Structure 1
C-alpha cells in the first residue's frame, strides 16, 4: 500500500515544483519589467490605425455560421481518413462503404438545408 501512495507523492511533488517554477517566472517578470503606462499605450491598437468612434460594433451572425459549417466539414474530412484505412481491411469493405455513404448522406442533407435557408450566399 505504501508503494501505491509513493507514486502519487512523486506526482504531487512534480506538480508543486512545476507550479513553483511558473510562479517564480511570472514574479520575476513582474519585478524586472518596466511599468510606465501612458494614455497612448492604453488605447486600442488596430493595425496602426487610431480607433475612431465607439467601442461597440455589430457583426453578422452569418459569419459565425460560415465558421460553424467549416468546422463541421473539417471534422468530416478527419473521419474520412480512418475510414480509408479500414476500407482496405479484409471483411470490412462493403460494410464500411455503406456506412460512409450514410455519413456523407447526412452531411449532404445538412449542406442542402443550409443552402436552402440561404446561409451560403455571400451577400
Structure 2
C-alpha cells in the first residue's frame, strides 16, 4: 500500500534536496559585499522618501483576512459543482447549509463594519 506513495516521497525528497543545494551553493559562491544601499527598500528606481518599515493600517489586514475567509469557500464550491449530480439531495442540502453559514459570516462582518473602508 505504501509502495504506491514511493514516487511522491522521492519527488519531495529530490525537490527538498535541490532547494537546499541551491541555497548552499548561492551562499557559498555568491559575492558578499553588503552595504547600506542594498539594505534599503526598492522603490521603482526612485530615491526612497522615508523609512521602509512603517506600520500598516489595520484595515488592510482586515480586508485581507476577509478575502481569505470568503475565498476558501471557492475551494469547496468547485469540487462540489463537479460531482453535483452524483451527490444527489444530500449533497445539495449539505452545500445549502454551508452557504447559509458563509452568508451568516458575511452578514456578521457587514454588521460589524468590517467591510467599511473609513
TM-score range, shorter chain: 0.5 to 0.7
Unaligned runs of 5+ in 1: 1-10
- Relative to the length of structure 2, the TM-score reads 0.68
For 2:90 and 2:109, locate their aligned partners in 1 and report how far apart those are by CA, in whole Å. Answer: 29
Residue 83 of structure 1 corresponds to: 80
Cα distance in 2 between the residues matched to 1:87 and 1:59: 43
Question: 2:60 and 2:34 mapped to 1: Cα distance?
Answer: 36
Go from structure 1 to structure 2 and tell me whether the alpha carbon gap of 1:103 and 1:63 turns closer, same or farther (over 3 Å shift).
same
Partner of 1:109, secondary structure, is helix
Structure 1 runs of 4+ aligned residues shifted over 4 Å read none
Change (3 A) 1:48 1:73: same
TM-score (norm 1): 0.66
Listed one character per residue, the Cα deviations across residues 17-64 of structure 1 (whole Å, up to 9, x for unaligned) are x47x817x734x445433333433333322223233345422221211
Instruction: Point out the structure with max Rg over C-alpha.
Output: 1
The verdict on how the C-alpha distance between 1:87 and 1:49 changes in structure 2, with shifts beyond 3 A counting, is same
Higher relative contact order (CA 8 A, sep 6+): 2
Q: How many positions carry a matched residue from both structures?
A: 104
Q: CA RMSD in A?
A: 2.8
Counterpart position of 1:106: 101
1:59 is aligned to 56
Q: 1 or 2, which has the higher helix percentage?
A: 2
